[in-house]
C-alpha cells in the first residue's frame, strides 16, 4: 500500500507558500512504488508531478487532479571510496543539507558552490541546478530513472540530454537516484561552504518565502539586471513581488496569491521583451 493523503494543501510543498489543493498526494518509499505510480499515470492518462522540497515549484489555485509524487520518503544514501574519489549515491529525496554534512565530514571538493541551494537531489538533477559557476552535472556520474512507460534506466551523464538549467527529465521521467563523484582535498571545505552561505544570505531574500531564481539568465545579460533596469526590483502586485534585494527573486510578503504572481510575471516578461528584445525564460516551474 502506497502512503497517500487527500485534499492536500499544496502551499505546504512550495517554498513560495502559494497554491490550491491536490486531490491526492502520494508518498512512495521505494522504486517499486514509484514505478507503480508511473504506470498508474499512464493507465489513467494523468500527468505525474514529482515534488521534492518545492523550491522552484508554484501551484495554481483550486483543486488539481494530477498524480503528485513526493520524494520525502526517498532519503537513503551511501558513500564509498573508489581509488582517489568518493562516490555518493543518493535517492531523490536526499536534501542538499544532508549532502553538505557529508562533504564537510570527509572534506570533499566539488559540491561547495551548490551548498546553499534549497533543494533535494531529484529536483536538482532534473533541472541541472547550479550556483557560483557550478552545476550538479559537473559532479554527476549516473542517474537511475523511470520513463513514462515504467521502464527503469541507469544512464551515465553523457547519455543524458542536459544544458544550462535543463535536462530531458523536465519533459519526461522520474529521477529516482543519482551518483555523485567527489574528491578529497587539502582545502578547508567547511570554510568555503561558510563563505558561500554568507554571500548567498547577503544577496538573496532568504528571510521570506521565495522560489529562488525566477528566470534563467539569457546569454545577453543576467535576468536580475534586466529586471532591475526594467523597474521591477521591489515591484509588487498585492503580496507578491520581486525582491528589493535581488530582482530575479520572487517573494511572498505574507498572503500572496497565484493570480497576483501570474500578473506580475506576465508584466515583467512583456516589459523586458519590449525594452530589450529579450524573451525571459522561466526557471520556476508552474503547475496549472
Query: What CATH number does the domain located at 77-190 have?
Result: 3.30.465.10
Q: Of 11, 55, 95, 213, which residue is the catalytic one?
A: 213
Known catalytic residue at 213: yes
pLDDT above 80 (res 202): no
Q: How many other β-carbons are positioned within 10 Å of the β-carbon of residue 172?
A: 13
Fold agreement between 77-190 and 205-287? no
Mean pLDDT of the chain: 95
Boundaries of every domain in the chain: 3-70, 77-190, 205-287
Query: CA-CA distance, 17 to 122, in Å (whole number)?
Result: 20
Q: Of 112, 135, 142, 283, which residue is the catalytic one?
A: 283
Fold of 205-287: 3.90.78
**Grid coordinates in use for 91?**
535517492
Q: What is the pLDDT of residue 131?
A: 87
279: left (phi over 0), alpha (psi -120 to 50) or beta: beta
Query: CA-CA distance, 69 to 176, in Å (whole number)?
Result: 11
Q: Which residue has the cell 513560495?
A: 16
> Using one digit for the tens of pLDDT, what is the confidence trace for 36-62?
999 999 999 999 999 999 998 999 999
For the whole model, what pTM was predicted? Answer: 0.92
Instruction: Confirm if 87 and 179 have CB atoms less than 8 A apart.
Output: yes
**Grid coordinates in use for 271?**
516589459
Known catalytic residue at 283: yes
Q: What is the pLDDT of residue 77?
A: 97
Q: Average pLDDT, stretch 240-247? A: 94
CATH architecture designation of domain 3-70: 2-Layer Sandwich (3.30)
Alpha helix stretches (DSSP H) within 5-115: 31-44, 96-106
Q: Of 165, 177, 243, 269, which residue is the catalytic one?
A: 165
2 half-sphere exposure, CB direction, 13 A CA radius: 24
Amino acid at each position: 500500500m502506497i502512503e497517500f493523503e487527500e485534499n492536500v494543501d499544496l502551499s505546504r510543498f512550495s517554498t513560495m507558500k502559494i497554491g490550491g489543493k491536490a486531490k491526492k498526494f502520494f508518498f512512495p518509499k521505494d522504486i517499486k512504488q514509484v514505478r507503480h505510480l508511473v504506470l498508474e499515470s499512464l493507465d489513467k492518462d494523468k500527468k505525474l508531478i514529482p515534488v521534492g522540497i518545492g523550491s522552484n515549484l508554484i501551484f495554481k489555485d483550486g483543486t488539481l487532479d494530477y498524480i503528485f509524487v513526493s520524494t520525502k520518503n526517498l532519503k537513503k544514501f551511501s558513500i564509498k571510496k573508489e581509488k582517489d574519489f568518493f562516490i555518493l549515491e543518493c535517492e531523490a529525496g536526499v536534501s542538499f543539507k544532508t549532502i553538505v554534512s557529508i562533504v564537510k565530514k570527509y572534506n570533499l571538493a566539488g559540491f561547495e558552490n551548490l551548498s546553499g541551494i534549497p533543494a533535494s537531489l531529484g529536483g536538482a538533477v532534473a533541472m541541472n541546478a547550479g550556483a557560483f559557476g557550478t552545476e550538479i552535472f559537473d559532479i554527476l556520474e549516473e542517474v537511475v530513472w523511470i520513463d513514462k512507460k515504467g521502464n527503469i534506466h541507469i544512464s551515465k551523464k553523457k547519455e543524458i540530454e542536459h544544458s544550462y538549467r535543463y535536462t530531458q527529465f523536465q519533459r519526461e521521467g522520474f529521477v529516482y537516484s543519482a551518483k555523485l563523484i567527489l574528491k578529497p582535498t587539502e582545502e578547508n571545505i567547511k570554510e568555503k561552504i561558510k563563505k558561500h552561505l554568507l554571500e548567498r544570505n547577503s544577496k538573496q531574500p532568504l528571510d521570506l518565502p521565495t522560489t529562488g531564481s525566477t528566470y534563467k539568465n539569457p546569454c545577453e545579460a543576467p535576468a536580475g539586471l534586466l529586471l532591475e533596469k526594467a523597474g521591477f526590483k521591489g515591484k509588487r502586485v498585492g503580496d507578491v513581488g520581486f525582491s528589493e534585494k535581488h530582482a530575479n527573486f520572487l517573494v511572498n510578503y505574507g498572503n500572496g496569491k497565484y493570480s497576483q504572481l501570474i500578473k506580475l510575471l506576465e508584466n515583467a516578461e512583456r516589459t523586458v521583451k519590449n525594452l530589450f528584445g529579450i524573451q525571459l525564460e522561466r526557471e520556476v516551474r508552474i503547475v496549472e
